[in-house]
Amino acid sequence: MIMYQSYAFDLLGDDEFEHLVVDICRKILGPGTHEFTKGRDGARDSSFEGTAQCYPSTVKPWKGKIIIQAKHISTVNSSCSDKNFFENSSSIVNREIKRINNIKADTGESFDCYLMFTNRKLTGGIHPQIKKRLKEGLGIQYADIIGIEDLTAYVNEYNDLIRKYRLLRNFLPDRFFEEDIQKVILLFSNNKDWAQISPIKEDNFDYINKKEKNKLNNVSEDYFADIRDNSLKSFDIIDDFLKDPRNVKLLQYYINTVSDLRGYIFQNKDSYTFEDILESIIRNIAGEKPDDDIFRVRALVRVFVHYMYWNCDIGRKK
């Protein structure tokens, strides 16, 4: 597998990041790791109690009750060295120490270890300082922080998490030859009626077969609903356009594109979700230059790609 040095941790929501942390902890601590739950102070904590499977190592694993915290940030290139994370008296680390100590004082609960996860950069210089602050501030022997570097290492090791959390969404697959389908779409766009077509009634298509196709390709109900509600109404007129004898050359362009995309999808199916691949195809065809004719009709690009999927020209059918 390719060892990517950066994953889309910043694009995760806070809840998604917490689920990712729990999945990692269930691998390095044990399956008894609890989901994050909201405490009386409003913060969300996870925990594990017992002997860790392999953290920090199999030779000297942590033992006892381990409190787990997840500190997610949506900004790229944030660092644990940022003053608002560690240095200031009101920093995230210092606030966390105060919060945990207040819980201990209020409830009398105790714990043995503390583990914080963040998608910030964690340099070798600041790491031991944060560990020391956590251990001294919490009055415990074992505390640590896992930054984006170790998160990346864990995701590489437990690579089922890459697909589960769509962590490759920052990385687009290699491009394909999109000029053929661009010609088809641009000429089709001259038909002024394509966007004025009435919505299709639900009983006008085979729900069962489409649901099975969606399942085979892991296409979500929401994504399929977008195809059904916004693109389906144009499919009949695309059919007529491609079957018109006057457009035989354009039909060949379409067939060439479909052939290219089958290989493109097959090449990338293990690294990306099918929805990510479809969106990448749409972006590649539409381009990024506002002055280009194809970019001006990018809504139609989405319709054509959805048509390919609906028509079973691309995607698994069995």
d(CA 293, CA 69): 49
| 91: alpha, beta or left? (left if phi > 0; alpha if psi -120 to 50) | beta
Token digits of residue 306: 């959805």
The pLDDT assigned to 23 comes to: 97
Is residue 46 helix, strand or coil? strand
Matching residue, tokens 């053929």: 180
* Residues with Cβ within 8 Å of residue 298, at least 6 apart in sequence: 282, 286
Helix and strand counts by DSSP (H, E) for the chain: 13, 5
User: Per DSSP, what are the bridge partners of residue 114?
Assistant: 67, 143
What is the chain's mean pLDDT, rounded? 87
* Under 8 Å between Cβ of 60 and 113: no
What pLDDT, in 10s, does the model give residues 200-252?
A: 444 444 544 788 889 989 899 999 999 999 999 999 999 999 999 999 999 99
The pLDDT assigned to 95 comes to: 95
Considering just the CA atoms, what is the radius of gyration of the chain in Å?
A: 26
In percent, the amount of the chain with pLDDT more than 70 equals 90
pTM attached to this predicted model? 0.61
Sign of CA dihedral 202, 223, 184, 311: negative
Q: How confident is the model at residue 199 (pLDDT cuts 50, 70, 90)?
A: very low
Is residue 36 helix, strand or coil? coil
d(CA 302, CA 196): 16
d(CA 235, CA 78): 45
**Residue among 187, 143, 160 nearest 55 (CA):** 143
The answer to whether the bond into 56 is cis (omega within 30° of 0) is yes
Is residue 144 helix, strand or coil? strand
**β-pairing verdict for 142-146 and 44-51:** unpaired
DSSP string, 47-110: EEEEE-SSSS-SSS--EEEEEEEEE---STT-BTTSIIIIISTTSHHHHHHHHHHHHHHHH---
d(CA 115, CA 16): 18
What pLDDT, in 10s, does the model give residues 13-61?
A: 999 999 999 999 999 999 999 999 987 777 889 999 999 999 999 999 9
